[in-house]
Structure formats: structure tokens, C-alpha cells
């Protein structure tokens, strides 16, 4: 009888969830998406956004939210895709392989040559889904998208971590749209700083994060300081994949939802939310266990738990928002101009 009652309760909750999801899909499709520019900043839409975008409309919302400031087209994607295929063909004929990566530097546009490295990473992307591995339905699409981007931005090339971002986009939209969103997303200040390994900018982001860490979780902040555990030990991996590798996919998708809404600030707020959620256990750990925990987060994290923790994270210090604190620190970190 107890089991029957539990099953009944679970079924009721599932039906309630499905009804709420169906209602939300209707609101997004009928009211919000056709009137995007006038409705996207309203309190009602922002509240709906915070609660998570229904999977069936997620791709449409992300596409609109990320925008296309670079004015990319499906035609450009095809051109870059063919260039990537040609690059791989040249390398194959030249006898290069993934074990002799150093030889790529002899080729023109060596970062464009990083398309070869993509092969290694594609099969490591969401292995539990089995769709990005060789023979899977998304293997060629993901490899092609990443190769096309490396040829579109040879100054950046392919960097480890990109495959997870591209994969999340492919799970939610067509490949043309995924490429356009991917390139625009990686062109944002925070992403370009990390993927181009701009040390000065990265340090300014770390320092800004530390300010908010100290403000929100002082006890844990001092515990980390005492153990000499720097934020870049764990947060670089989180930011490189926009949490797609670190959090369960459904939780990461909901983080992306609000990242679309709030921008880079939310990525750092999410980091603080993760720490807040696990604060009690983290305070009891030594350096080794902390490092292990933060580089391999529990797979049991739920989106509701994380977002409840995020609710109490304050992203204002002395009336300054994240962007203002970052700008101040960036200014402080600038090298003094040469008087000569």
C-alpha cells in the first residue's frame, strides 16, 4: 500500500509537471517569441526565464538571446566547413597525425590546423549519450561545426572545451543556427578572453569573482585562502565548457537559459551557487579533497537545488554590479603607460 501511494504521488507530480511544461510552451510560442523585442525584458518573461525554458523552445530562445552581431550566414558556414574538410585532406596527404601535433606549426595558419585536434575531442564529448562518438548521428555534425569555426577564426582555432559548447547547441538547434550561435557566443568578452588565453583579462575576471566570493561566502572564502586553493584551479574548467561538462546536462541547460538572459555575470554567480550548495561539506575538506570535489562535481546536483542556492547569491557590492567591479579592477590592473 505504501508503494502504491508513493507511485500515485509520483504520477501526480509528473502529470503536474507536464501540465506546467505544456502551459509554458504555449506562452513562449504564442505570446513571447512573436513579440520578442517588446517582451524579453518584462518581469513576467524574466521570471519564466528563471524557472527554465521548455526544451522544445529552448533553441529558439537561445538563438534570439545570443543574437547575430557578427552577421553570419548559413552560406558562410558551408564555406568554412569545406575549408576545414580541405585542411584535413591536406594533412592526411602530408602524412600528419594526431601524435605529431608539433608538425602543424610548420603549416600556414597553424591555429587553423587545429582542426586535426578536434577529432580527438569529439568522441570524448558527452560519452554517456553515445551520439557524438564515431558512428553516432551527431559525430560528423559536431566535427564539422568545430572545424568550420577553427577556419572562421584562425586567430583562435580550436581549444579544448569548445566541443561541449558546440554539442549543447547542436542538441537544441539545426547545425547552421548552432554555428552562428557558437561563433557569436565565443565572441563575447569573457569567452574570447578565456579561449584566447588573455592572461591579463582572465586575472581581472578571477579577481572580480574573488570579490563576490568574499562578499557572499566569507567563511568558505577564508577556508580556501588558508589552504592556498585558488579559484582558477576549478573555475577555468567550469567556464571553458559553460558548465556543460561539470554539471548534469539538464542542470547545465538551465544555467545556459539564464546565462542567455544575464550574460557573463551569471556564469560567476553559478560558481558561487555551487559552492553555497556544498558549503558545509567543503568546509570540512583539506586541499586534496577540495580539489577532487570541485573538479568532479556530484552527478546528483538538481537544478532546483542549485537555483535555490543561487537565489541567495548577491551580485552587488557597495552598490556596484559585477560589470562595474570588473571594470574597476581591469583599470587597476592596466600597466602604467610609458611616459616616453
- Here the CATH number for the domain that contains residue 255 is 1.10.472.80
Return the exposure string of 217-256: e unless at least 16 CB atoms fall within 10 Å of the residue's CB, then b: beebbebbeeeebebeebbebbbbbbbbbbbbbebbbbbb
Specify whether 207 is located in the same domain as 178.
Answer: no
Last residue of a domain, one of 140, 161, 187: 187
The pLDDT of 234-249, averaged and rounded, is 95
The confidence score (pLDDT) of residue 108 equals 40
Based on the fold, state whether residues 303 and 215 are members of the same structural domain: yes
In sequence order, the 6+-apart residues with CB closer than 8 A to the CB of 311 are none
Residues 80 and 175 occupy one common structural domain: yes
In a domain, 2, yes or no: no
48: in domain: no
Kindly state the cell numbers that stand for 96: 600528419
For residues 9 and 199, which has the higher predicted lDDT (pLDDT)?
A: 199
Per-residue confidence (pLDDT) for residue 112, from 0 to 100: 56
Q: How far apart are CA 173 and CA 157, in angstroms?
A: 23
Residue 217 lies in a domain: yes
Say whether pTM exceeds 0.85.
yes
Do both 240 and 170 map to the same domain?
no
Residue 160, in any domain of the structure: yes
Poorest-pLDDT segment among 105-109, 254-258, 259-263, 297-301: 105-109
For residues 238 and 287, state if they share a domain.
Answer: yes
Q: Is position 144 within any domain?
A: yes
Indicate whether 79 and 156 sit together in one domain: yes
Q: Nearest CA to 203 among 217, 218, 193?
A: 193
Report the distance separating Cα 150 and Cα 159, nearest Å.
9
Helix segments in the chain, DSSP class H: 2-26, 36-39, 43-50, 55-66, 74-94, 115-122, 139-152, 162-170, 175-186, 189-195, 199-216, 218-226, 232-240, 249-262, 264-277, 279-283, 287-295, 303-311, 322-333
Measured on CA atoms in the order 5, 6, 11, 12, is the torsion positive or negative? positive
**Are both 221 and 259 inside the same structural domain?**
yes
Of all residues in the chain, the percent with pLDDT exceeding 90 is 78
User: Do 216 and 319 share a domain, yes or no?
Assistant: yes
124, 156, 187 — which closes off a domain?
187
The whole-number pLDDT of residue 334 equals 78
Domain encompassing residue 254: 198-333
Last residue of a domain, one of 142, 167, 187: 187
Q: How far apart are CA 21 and CA 197, in angstroms?
A: 40
Q: What is the mean pLDDT of residues 293-301?
A: 95
Q: Do 303 and 234 belong together in one domain?
A: yes
| pLDDT in the model for residue 1 | 86
Q: Around Cβ 319, how many Cβ atoms within 10 Å? A: 6
Tally the domains of the chain. 2
Question: Is 247 inside any structural domain?
Answer: yes
Per the listing, cell 500500500 goes with 1
In a domain, 320, yes or no: yes
| Pairing relationship of beta strands 316-317 and 320-321 according to DSSP bridges | antiparallel
- Are 324 and 234 members of one domain? yes
Reading the block at residue 110, the C-alpha cell is 597553424
Amino acid at each position: 500500500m505504501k508503494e502504491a501511494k508513493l507511485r500515485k504521488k509520483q504520477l501526480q507530480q509528473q502529470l503536474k509537471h507536464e501540465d506546467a511544461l505544456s502551459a509554458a510552451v504555449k506562452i513562449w510560442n504564442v505570446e513571447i517569441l512573436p513579440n520578442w523585442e517588446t517582451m524579453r525584458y518584462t518581469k513576467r518573461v524574466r521570471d519564466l526565464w528563471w524557472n527554465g525554458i521548455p526544451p522544445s523552445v529552448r533553441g529558439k530562445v537561445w538563438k534570439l538571446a545570443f543574437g547575430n552581431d557578427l552577421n553570419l550566414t548559413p552560406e558562410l558556414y558551408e564555406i568554412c566547413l569545406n575549408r576545414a574538410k580541405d585542411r584535413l585532406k591536406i594533412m592526411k596527404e602530408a602524412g600528419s597525425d594526431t601524435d605529431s601535433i608539433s608538425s602543424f606549426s610548420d603549416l600556414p595558419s597553424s591555429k587553423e590546423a587545429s582542426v586535426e585536434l578536434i577529432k580527438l575531442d569529439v568522441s570524448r564529448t558527452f560519452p554517456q549519450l553515445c551520439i557524438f562518438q564515431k558512428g553516432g548521428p551527431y559525430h560528423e555534425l559536431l566535427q564539422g561545426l568545430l572545424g568550420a569555426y577553427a577556419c572562421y577564426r584562425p586567430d583562435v582555432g580550436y581549444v579544448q572545451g569548445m566541443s561541449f559548447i558546440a554539442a549543447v547547441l547542436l542538441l537544441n538547434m539545426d547545425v547552421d543556427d548552432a554555428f552562428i550561435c557558437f561563433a557569436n557566443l565565443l565572441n563575447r568578452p569573457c569567452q574570447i578572453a578565456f579561449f584566447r588565453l588573455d592572461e591579463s583579462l582572465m586575472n581581472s575576471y578571477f579577481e572580480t569573482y574573488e570579490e563576490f566570493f568574499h562578499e557572499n561566502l566569507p567563511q568558505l572564502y577564508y577556508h580556501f585562502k588558508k589552504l592556498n586553493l585558488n579559484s582558477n584551479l576549478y573555475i577555468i574548467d567550469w567556464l571553458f565548457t559553460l558548465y556543460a561538462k561539470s554539471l548534469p546536462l539538464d542542470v547545465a541547460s538551465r544555467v545556459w537559459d539564464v546565462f542567455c538572459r544575464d550574460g557573463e555575470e551569471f556564469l560567476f554567480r553559478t560558481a558561487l551557487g555551487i559552492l553555497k550548495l556544498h558549503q558545509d561539506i567543503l568546509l570540512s575538506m583539506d586541499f586534496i579533497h577540495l580539489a577532487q570535489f570541485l573538479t568532479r562535481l556530484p552527478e546528483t546536483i538538481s537544478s532546483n537545488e542549485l537555483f535555490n542556492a543561487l537565489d541567495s547569491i548577491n551580485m552587488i557590492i557597495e552598490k556596484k554590479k559585477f560589470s562595474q567591479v570588473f571594470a574597476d579592477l581591469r583599470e587597476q590592473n592596466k600597466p602604467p603607460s610609458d611616459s616616453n
